Amino acid sequence: NLAVIGTGEKANLMFIRAYLAEGYAIPTQQESREYPGGYTEVRKIGLIPRIVKADVESLYPSIMLRYRIKPSADHLDVFLPTLERLRRLRLDAKARAKKTQGAESAYWDGLQGSFKILINCFDDQTEILTPDGFKSISEVQVGELVYSLNPTTQQVELKPVTATYRQFYRGKMVALKSGSVDFLLTPNHRCLVQARDSGQLLWREAGELVGKSGVLLPPLQPLPPIEPTPEYFDLAQWCERHEIAYEQIEKDGVAYLRHPCSGQVGQPHKAQPRYYPIHAFMELLGWYITEGVLYSSQRKEYGNGRVRGVFYRVTIYQKNAQGREAVRRLLETLGIEYSEDRNGFHFCSRLWYEFFLRECGCGSYQKRIPPWVFRWSPEVLEYLLYGLLAGDGDSRKTGKRFSTVSVQLREDFIRLCCHLGTRTTDRGYDGCYRIGVWAKTGRPHLHKRHSGWQDYEGMIYCLTVADNHTVLAGRNKLLNWTGQSYYGYLGAPFNFNDYDAAEAVTLKGQELVKQIAAEIERLGGTVVEIDTDGVYFQPPDHVQTEADEIAFVEEVGKILPEGIRLAYDGRYKAMLSVKTKNYVLQGYDGKLIFKGASLRSRADEKFGREFLNRAIEHLLNGKPEKVAEDYQRLAKQILNGDIDIDQLCRRERITDKSKQPSHPLYELAKRFQIGDYIMVYRKRDGSLGLLEEYAGDEDREHYVEKLYKFAARLEDLFPNFDSMFPKPQAIIQAEKQPSLFD
pLDDT in tens, 323-356: 999 999 999 999 999 999 999 999 999 999 999 9
- In this prediction, residue 552 has a pLDDT band, given cuts at 50, 70 and 90, of very high
- In this prediction, residue 274 has a pLDDT band, given cuts at 50, 70 and 90, of very high
Q: Are 45 and 716 in contact (CB under 8 A)?
A: yes
- In this prediction, residue 306 has a pLDDT band, given cuts at 50, 70 and 90, of confident
Is residue 8 one of the residues assigned to a domain?
A: no
For residues 410-439, give the mean pLDDT.
88
Question: Could you give the CA distance from residue 127 to residue 74 in angstroms, rounded to a whole number?
Answer: 39
Is residue 105 one of the residues assigned to a domain?
A: no
More confident residue, 413 or 82: 413
| Domain stops at, among 544, 560, 587 | 587
For residues 439-452, give the mean pLDDT.
81
pLDDT of 577 over the 90 cut: yes
Question: Could you give the CA distance from residue 193 to residue 688 in angstroms, rounded to a whole number?
Answer: 37
User: Please, which residues have CB within 8 angstroms of residue 135's CB and are 6 or more apart in sequence?
Assistant: 127, 128, 129
Question: Could you give the CA distance from residue 138 to residue 463 in angstroms, rounded to a whole number?
Answer: 10
- The CATH number assigned to the domain holding 277 equals 3.10.28.10
pLDDT of 49 over the 90 cut: yes
Question: Could you give the CA distance from residue 483 to residue 149 in angstroms, rounded to a whole number?
Answer: 9
| 259 and 394 both lie in a single domain | yes
- CA distances to 183, 425, 473, 680 from 477, rounded to whole Å, are 11, 9, 8, 22
For residues 277-302, give the mean pLDDT.
92
| 276 and 423 both lie in a single domain | yes
Which one-letter DSSP state was computed for residue 269? P
For residues 298-316, give the mean pLDDT.
79
pLDDT of residue 267: 46
Is residue 329 one of the residues assigned to a domain?
A: yes
φ, ψ of residue 472 to 5 degrees: the values are -95, 110
| 624 and 711 both lie in a single domain | yes
Q: Are 732 and 704 in contact (CB under 8 A)?
A: yes
| 179 and 45 both lie in a single domain | no
Question: Could you give the CA distance from residue 370 to residue 376 in angstroms, rounded to a whole number?
Answer: 12
Range of the domain at 458: 127-219+443-482
| 254 and 378 both lie in a single domain | yes
Question: Could you give the CA distance from residue 209 to residue 399 in angstroms, rounded to a whole number?
Answer: 29
| 38 and 163 both lie in a single domain | no
User: How much of the chain exceeds pLDDT 70, in percent?
Assistant: 89
- The CATH number assigned to the domain holding 630 equals 1.10.132.60
DSSP 3-state of 134: strand
Is residue 706 one of the residues assigned to a domain?
A: yes
| 394 and 464 both lie in a single domain | no
- CA distances to 69, 350, 602, 688, 717 from 609, rounded to whole Å, are 45, 38, 8, 20, 18
| 49 and 142 both lie in a single domain | no
| 311 and 406 both lie in a single domain | yes
Is residue 112 one of the residues assigned to a domain?
A: no
Number of residues assigned to the chain: 742
Q: What helix, strand, coil percent values describe the chain, rounded to 5? A: 35, 30, 35
pLDDT of residue 268: 47
pLDDT tens track for 100-118: 888 788 777 766 655 554 4
- In this prediction, residue 729 has a pLDDT band, given cuts at 50, 70 and 90, of confident
pLDDT of residue 440: 60
Q: Which residues of 564-598 are buried (b: 16+ CB within 10 A; e: fewer)?
A: bebbbbbbbebbbbbbbbbbbbbeeeeebebbbbb
Q: Are 447 and 214 in contact (CB under 8 A)?
A: yes
| 193 and 227 both lie in a single domain | no
Question: Could you give the CA distance from residue 512 to residue 561 in angstroms, rounded to a whole number?
Answer: 9
Burial label, 90 (beta-carbon count in 10 A; 0-12, 13-18, 19+)? buried
pLDDT of residue 635: 96
pLDDT of residue 21: 80
Task: Classify the phi-psi angles of 344: left when phi > 0, otherwise alpha if psi is within -120 to 50, otherwise beta.
Answer: left
| 565 and 686 both lie in a single domain | no
- The CATH number assigned to the domain holding 141 equals 2.170.16.10
**Mean pLDDT score across all residues of the chain:** 86
pLDDT of residue 16: 77
Number of domains observed in the structure of the chain: 4
| Domain stops at, among 482, 508, 540 | 482
pLDDT of residue 489: 46
Instruction: Say what the pTM is.
Output: 0.63
| 267 and 413 both lie in a single domain | yes
The helix or strand, by DSSP H or E, that contains position 407, with its residue range, turns out to be: helix 407-419
Is residue 140 one of the residues assigned to a domain?
A: yes
- In this prediction, residue 301 has a pLDDT band, given cuts at 50, 70 and 90, of confident
Is residue 87 one of the residues assigned to a domain?
A: no
User: How much of the chain exceeds pLDDT 90, in percent?
Assistant: 54
pLDDT of residue 31: 56
pLDDT of 99 over the 90 cut: no
- In this prediction, residue 28 has a pLDDT band, given cuts at 50, 70 and 90, of low
Q: Which residues of 436-468 are buried (b: 16+ CB within 10 A; e: fewer)?
A: bbbeebebbbbeeebbeeeebeeebbbbbbbeb
Is residue 699 one of the residues assigned to a domain?
A: yes
Give helix 278-291 / helix 321-334 axis angle, nearest 10°.
Answer: 140
| Domain stops at, among 587, 614, 640 | 587
- The CATH number assigned to the domain holding 552 equals 3.90.1600.10
pLDDT tens track for 193-222: 998 888 888 888 888 899 999 899 999 999
